[in-house]
């Protein structure tokens, strides 16, 4: 038996969730029971992201760090939440609907995607809308991979197979997400909530790019291992885009729009007109937010590439 407290914005316990299971926190907002995993059934409080509004009132918070992501505000700790564990009625990230330790409506896509995506390593046993007023959920899940990540024990051949399957069946990752963290050791996807269907060339490019980029930045040794598997080279950060295009061609995608000019012009074209215009993290919740972030990406990228 496990009791998970729910706290309001003042750190006062206002309710509880009761589980006929022994839950032990794993990481993030995921806990492990005697048989299944639970997502959104509380977590220890470590901090939260605040709005990037320069006029934000930060009274009651301790600022811990600042994000490199331009649309993210500071990472902070709310003093009245410190030392507690459970569900907290403030958003973990202001642009999403998830309370800290809980799941918002965008996570409901886990249900459909886990059924339709053939290389999903998660099965949804139950989805519970425990807070209808605020549309908060928890999920009871079963993982075939035991939540072991590709970053720990992955095989490059299985990762290549996953990418080929996704591209050829119009499944996509968000381009600006650390997608390699959602891939399990057996080359399946453990977090299918943010994958989506699209035959758009830009989204396909973003899918492969997000995996290559996040793998290269988080585990350069396993990235090098994957490049050897694919017989690819890496010279600088531009190679993430070049290699993504090569893999798309390998998977049978017509990439002539991305390869008909000089290497530098091809790179600029791919990034400006295909990559950053694709679906981003902001699109997961609100179209308006995704559009706003897309405009900012375009503006920043044009400056970096010296394009008017």
Exposure letters 248-281 (e unless 16+ CB within 10 A, then b): bebbebebeebeeeeeeebbbbbbbebbbbbbbb
Total count of residues recorded for the chain:
308
Domain count, the chain: 2
Q: Are residues 193 and 288 in the same domain?
A: yes
Q: Are residues 222 and 197 in the same domain?
A: yes
Q: Are residues 123 and 188 in the same domain?
A: no
Question: CA Rg, the chain, in Å?
Answer: 20
pLDDT of residue 272: 95
**Which domain-ending residue is among 143, 169, 185?**
143
pLDDT of residue 308: 57
Q: Are residues 157 and 275 in the same domain?
A: yes
Beta-bridge partner residues of 4: 17
**Which domain-ending residue is among 110, 143, 176?**
143
**Which domain-ending residue is among 143, 173, 191?**
143
Q: Are residues 23 and 73 in the same domain?
A: yes
Q: What are phi and psi of 176, to 5 degrees?
A: -105, 25
pLDDT of residue 289: 81
Q: Are residues 178 and 219 in the same domain?
A: yes
pLDDT of residue 47: 97
Q: For residues 176 and 199, give the distance between their C-alpha atoms in angstroms, rounded to a whole number.
A: 18
Collapse the DSSP code of 164 into the 3-class scheme (helix H, G, I; strand E, B; otherwise coil) and give the result: helix
pLDDT of residue 307: 66
Q: Are residues 130 and 217 in the same domain?
A: no
CB 1 within 8 A of CB 18: yes
Q: Are residues 44 and 105 in the same domain?
A: yes
Residue 155 belongs to what domain range? Answer: 150-304
pLDDT of residue 52: 82
CB 275 within 8 A of CB 202: yes
pLDDT of residue 282: 82
pLDDT of residue 177: 92
Q: What is the DSSP string of 248-306?
A: HHHTT---GGGTSS-HHHHHHHHIIIIITTS--GGGGT-HHHHHHHHHHHHHHHHHHTT
Q: Are residues 87 and 180 in the same domain?
A: no
Report, as ranges of residue numbers, the positions in the chain whose pLDDT lies below 70. Answer: 286-287, 307-308
């Amino acid at each position: 038996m496990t009791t998970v407290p729910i706290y309001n914005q003042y750190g006062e316990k206002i309710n509880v969730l009761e589980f006929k299971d022994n839950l032990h926190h794993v990481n993030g907002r995921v806990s492990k029971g005697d048989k299944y995993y639970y997502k959104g059934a509380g977590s220890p409080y470590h901090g939260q992201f605040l709005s990037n509004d320069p006029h934000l009132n930060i009274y009651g918070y301790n600022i811990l760090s600042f994000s490199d992501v331009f649309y993210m505000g500071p990472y902070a700790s709310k003093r009245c939440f410190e030392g507690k564990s459970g569900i907290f009625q403030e958003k973990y990230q202001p642009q999403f609907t998830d309370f800290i330790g809980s799941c918002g409506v965008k996570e409901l896509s886990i249900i459909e995607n886990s059924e339709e995506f053939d290389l999903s390593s998660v099965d949804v046993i139950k989805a519970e809308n425990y807070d209808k007023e605020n549309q908060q959920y928890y999920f009871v899940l079963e993982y075939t991979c035991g939540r072991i990540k590709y970053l720990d024990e992955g095989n490059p051949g299985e990762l290549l197979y996953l990418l080929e399957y996704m591209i050829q069946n119009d499944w996509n990752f968000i381009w600006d997400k650390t997608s390699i963290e959602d891939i399990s050791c057996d080359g399946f996807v453990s977090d299918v909530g943010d994958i989506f269907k699209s035959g758009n060339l830009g989204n396909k490019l973003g899918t492969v790019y997000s995996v290559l980029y996040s793998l290269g930045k988080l585990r350069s040794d396993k990235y090098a291992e994957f490049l050897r598997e694919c017989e690819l080279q890496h010279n600088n950060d531009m190679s993430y885009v070049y290699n993504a295009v090569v893999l798309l061609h390998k998977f049978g995608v017509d990439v002539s729009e991305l390869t008909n000019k000089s290497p530098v012009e091809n790179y600029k074209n791919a990034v400006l007109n295909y990559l950053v215009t694709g679906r981003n993290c902001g699109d997961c919740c609100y179209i308006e937010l995704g559009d706003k972030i897309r405009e900012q990406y375009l503006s920043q990228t044009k400056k970096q590439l010296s394009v008017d």
